[in-house]
């Protein structure tokens, strides 16, 4: 019996079409974190207002389509709020990682055109929601977690279904699509902690094909 892989499984099925890849990003973490730090210094994450109120996370984007909220709604936007400039491209290390994770989960030739970056300070959370603003639901979403741990809540097709709790750690990737593409999900309030590389925060990247 291989105790190591029993305790650190490579792929954990979550639901039809969805899986968790613990530690999948660790081999490229150095290049990934270098690129991400550079991005965050040039495009500081902002707290977005949605019709539900001010979000507790701070958001930045990469790729052809960023995610922007204002008091009236939220949408993919080719322009940054404020400057009206386009978003920077998604760095190759992130594109490659997303394609490899999607492939491992059974989604081939995934080419995202949008990368949302959510920064969680201790106490930040994400309410249960569906991701349904993308054009093509045959394309999966690849989600990458960095920094302090968080409890990811993975629900079902109804908001009232009791969600499964997934303890996401630095370097974990979640891929979902297919039958679970529109499942409800969220993040429980992040507990106070400090990560050796990122400090007291969690950063989540979601890579999508928006258009
Ligand atoms: C988060 N993630 O993990 C929030 N959405 O911080 C999401 O809302 C999400 O992880 C769609 C697909 C994957 C995700
Ligand atoms: Fe989401």
Question: How far is the centre of ligand 2, averaged over its atoms, from the C-alpha of 207 (Å)?
Answer: 10
The structure tokens 């922007």 sit at 68
Pocket test for ligand 1, best of 115, 177, 185 (most atoms within 8 A of CB): 185
SS3 90: coil
Give the pLDDT mean for 106-122.
Answer: 97
Beta carbon of 102 within 6 Å of any ligand 1 atom? no
CB-ligand 1 contact for 139 (6 Å cutoff): no
Å from CA of 1 to ligand 2 middle: 37
Q: Is 180 in the pocket of ligand 1 (CB under 6 A)?
A: no
For the segment 90-103, the average pLDDT, to the nearest whole number, is 98
In this structure, the residue with its CA closest to atom 5 of ligand 1 is 131
* b/e burial code for range 17-48 (CB count within 10 A of at least 16 → b): bbbbbbebbeebbeebbebbeebeeebebbeb
Look at residue 74 in the predicted model and tell me its pLDDT.
Answer: 86
CB 201 within 8 A of CB 121: yes
> From the CA of 197, how far away is ligand 2's center (Å)?
25
**Ligand 2 midpoint to CA 126 (Å):** 8
Instruction: State the pLDDT confidence band at 7, using cuts at 50, 70 and 90.
Output: low
Any ligand 1 atom below 6 A from CB of 60: no
The string of pLDDT tens digits covering residues 54-81 is 999 999 999 999 999 887 888 999 999 8
Nearest CA to ligand 1 atom 6: 204
**In terms of pLDDT, which residue wins out, 1 or 67?**
67
Ligand 1 pocket residue status of 126, Cβ below 6 Å:
yes
Q: 130 CA to middle of ligand 2, Å?
A: 6
Half-sphere exposure of 199 (CA within 13 A, CB side): 4
**Extents of the domains making up the chain:** 12-208
In sequence order, the 6+-apart residues with CB closer than 8 A to the CB of 17 are 140, 176, 177, 178, 179, 180, 181
By DSSP bridging, strand 66-70 and strand 73-77 are antiparallel
Q: pLDDT per residue over 158-200, tens digit each?
A: 667 688 899 999 999 999 999 999 999 999 999 999 999 999 9
Residues 2-26 have a mean pLDDT of 84
d(CA 118, ligand 1 centre) in Å: 9
CATH number of 12-208: 2.60.120.590, 2.40.50.100, 1.10.3720.10, 3.30.70.270? 2.60.120.590
Q: Is 118 in the pocket of ligand 1 (CB under 6 A)?
A: yes
According to the model, what pLDDT value does residue 123 have?
Answer: 98
């Amino acid at each position: 019996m291989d105790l190591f892989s029993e305790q650190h499984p490579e792929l954990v099925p979550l639901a039809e079409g969805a899986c968790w890849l613990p530690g999948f990003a660790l081999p490229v973490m150095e290049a990934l974190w270098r690129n991400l730090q550079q991005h965050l210094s040039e495009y500081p994450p902002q707290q977005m207002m949605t019709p539900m109120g001010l979000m507790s996370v701070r958001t930045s984007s990469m790729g052809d389509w960023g995610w922007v909220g204002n008091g009236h709604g939220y949408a993919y936007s080719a322009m940054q709020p404020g400057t009206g400039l386009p978003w920077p491209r998604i760095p190759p290390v992130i594109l490659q990682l997303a394609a490899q994770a999607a492939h491992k989960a059974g989604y081939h030739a995934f080419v995202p055109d949008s990368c949302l970056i959510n920064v969680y300070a201790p106490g930040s959370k994400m309410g249960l929601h569906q991701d349904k603003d993308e054009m093509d639901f045959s394309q999966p979403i690849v989600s990458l977690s960095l920094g302090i741990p968080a409890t990811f809540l993975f629900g079902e097709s109804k908001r009232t279904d009791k969600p499964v709790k997934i303890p996401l750690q630095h370097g974990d990737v979640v891929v979902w699509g297919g039958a679970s593409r529109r499942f409800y999900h969220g993040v429980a309030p992040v507990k106070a902690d400090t990560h050796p590389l990122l400090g007291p925060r969690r950063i989540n990247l979601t890579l999508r094909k928006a258009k």
